[in-house]
Each structure stands twice: as structure tokens, then as C-alpha cells.
Amino acid sequence: MRSYWSGTMTVGLLAIPVKLYGATKSHDSKFKKVHKTCLTPVKQVLHCEHCESDIPFSDTTRGHEVVKGQFVEITDAELENLPLPSSGGIVLDGFADAKILPNLQREKTVYIGPDKGGQKAYAVLKEAMKRKGVVAVGKVAIRDREHLVAIEPTDEALTLTQVYYPDEISPAREIPDLPPQDAASPREVDMAEQVIGILPLENRLEDYKDGAQEALDKILEAKATGQPLPVVQTRAPMSADDLLTQLRKTLEGRK
């Protein structure tokens, strides 16, 4: 496993050299843009309207529009050296109960590993946090963003979760057509509770696979070999009027 960032994690007077590693991988298929007529890959052309010419990617830079049509350049070096206390390291402000972090606020989780000379302090911190059942909260500056982060222990390693700032989360009340709290009748809720009670999860999370990826693989194989495409099976949507009927049928089917 290769790291993509290294720095120092500090909490109080304790400083631990660490590295960050990706904890997940994507199953997304890789597609290329091709010419629809001949299925030949196409190239993206960068065109400068001012110079009226196509330019190579090496002639581009990062710009920020300060007023309409006027830009200032922001270099990689300037982004990497923003005047922030968290630049170059993970700065932890303190510890809190593990329940402090709502699921909605979690953005992305990665592994933290010790760098050279940090194994002992890393192990001590991880075990102490496990015993206390706490998470550590702080900040880290990576590239052009200062991330709010939560550090959590697992049996094997520490993890770092990038957390959305509170003002980045849209309030649920903005959801259109959200039903009022008393929209569900007691009878419907009672029946739904019975359905929940007879439908315990029998699969382990490890048993789940990306069905969309498997379906796409079958389509690609059929196209490559000239076979008929798999038939798409759809489920008719349930109307709101059928709610009690569907709940009742679910209960009857499990008896």
C-alpha cells in the first residue's frame, strides 16, 4: 500500500510522524470519449480565446477570477504553503465521545500509518483511544483546503475521516414535499414495526457486491462477443395507497 501524504500528527505535546493511505477503492468502470462514427478515441483540445490558438496543457496554470474577466495566478507552491497552523501536519484539538460525529457529517475515511520513528507513540495513542472509546478532532491542510477531521481507532490502525463543516450540510427541512411528523398513522407504524421485526439482516456486509458493476460487465462481454444484451428486469413502483396492502403481504409472506 502506497501513502499519498506524510506529516506530523500532534496532540498536546505529543508529535507522531504519520502517513495517510487510501482505505477504499472504486469499482467504477473506466470509459473513454470516442468518436461516435468510428469509435476512435478523441483528444481534448485547450483553446485560448485571447491568443486565438490551441495550447498544450503545460502552458496552463491555476487562476482565480477576482473581478469579471480579470484573473490572478495561484501556484502549487502557494497552495502548499498557506499560512495555516495545520499546514504540514494533523493538529488535534482534543478528544470526545465517539458519538459526537453524525454519519451525515462524514465525507471520506482513510488510514493513518506511522512513519519512521513513530510506531511506539502511534500504538500507545491507538490503544488508549480504544480503551476510552473516544475520537480525536482537529484539522489538517492538504493542498488548497483545510479539512476538519476525526481520528478513530480500529483493531488494527487509526483512521482519519474528513468531516464536513457544519455550514456545508444542508438542513433536512429544505427537502421538497417532506411529510410532517404526524403523517404516518399509528396503525401503519405498528405494522411497519412488525415488518422490521421479522426481517433481520441475514447477510454480512462482506457478502455484498456491486450489482451495477456485474451487470455492466455482462453487457460489455455481450457486446464484445456479439451476443444478445441481458434483459433488464424492472419492479413496478408502489403507490402510496398500496402501503398497508404491501405491509400486510410482507407479514403474511414471512409466516
Over the stretch 184-224, which tens digit does the pLDDT of each residue have?
888 888 888 888 887 777 777 777 777 777 788 888 888 88
Nearest to 91 by CA among 152, 146, 171: 146
Domain definitions of the chain by residue range: 3-24+86-168, 186-253
88 pLDDT tier (thresholds 50, 70, 90):
low
What rounded mean pLDDT belongs to the chain? 85
236 pLDDT tier (thresholds 50, 70, 90):
low
Radius of gyration of the chain (CA): 26
* Cell 465525507 found at: 107
239 pLDDT tier (thresholds 50, 70, 90):
low
Which of the two residues, 247 and 69, has the higher pLDDT score?
69
Specify the fold of 3-24+86-168. Answer: Ku70; Chain: A; Domain 2 (2.40.290)
pLDDT, residue 225, reads: 87
